[in-house]
Structure 1
Amino acid sequence: MNKSIIVILMLLMTVSASAQSIFGKWKTIDDETGEEKSVVEIYEDNGKVYGKIIDIFDPEKRDLPCKPCNGEDYNKPVLGLKIIKDMEPFGETYKKGTIMNPEDGKVYDCRLKLDDDPNRLQVRGYIAFFYRTQYWVRIDS
């Protein structure tokens, strides 16, 4: 009987933990205009966390190359572009990576953290003490 209770509790904790994950698809929302812009898929690869654009809502921007981007991202299609790179877990947050704004090519230090609502992701780009925060909304897969 005790083993059954322990197994059930472990299953519930596993389901709860997976529901609290940052991994999955997120609708990006511009913090200045409130406009829904794209869908970013956040995933793990070799212990680091990345995010790539998998959909763009404005049909006129879907096929545009990233002309303001630098390095290996220069002139690559924005659709499919990896904009979040090299994030590492630190407790309930992910840090030490970067986020790139494909509209201007600027790269910022990044912090990702689930909001109190696990279906909202706090995405913060910053340079020193100056930062900008967006809240992305989880999309059911």
Structure 2
Amino acid sequence: MSLVVTAGQAGDAPQFETVMNAIRVPRQGSGRPRQRPRRVLGDKAYSSRAIRSWLRRRGIRATIPQPRDQQEHRLRRGSHGGRPPAFDPVAYRQRNIAERCINRLKQWRGLAMRTDKLAVHYQAALTLAGILLWAKP
């Protein structure tokens, strides 16, 4: 898991590469952690040509639904619109694990309200809350 703190008005999609480059997937046993997950699950905000091509170049499968306007645009272009991107609805159901984790983190008032003035303090509180959630049975 990786955490990147940005300004509140900043979108999530522009930070996609930064977050993905910070990921370290631990291996079973010894060895350095992998830097590429096998699959990425994202919501419709991450459905862009740039993100999909970035994932494709690295051999990472993407399970990202396509927004209706992108579907309509592709269909309007006819045979020049290309194939629709692959989408696995069964794998997409696992995305709720991350959403529930975010909702559990938002139960911490300081994290939900963003009362810290410095980003480094907010990231420290977020890391601490994540560790406590992970350690809690």
Fold agreement, TM-score > 0.5: no
Short-chain TM bin? under 0.3
Which TM-score applies when normalising by structure 2?
A: 0.24
Higher RCO (CA < 8 A, seq sep 6+) = 1
Which TM-score applies when normalising by structure 1?
A: 0.24
The structure where strand makes up a greater share of residues is 1
The structure where helix makes up a greater share of residues is 2
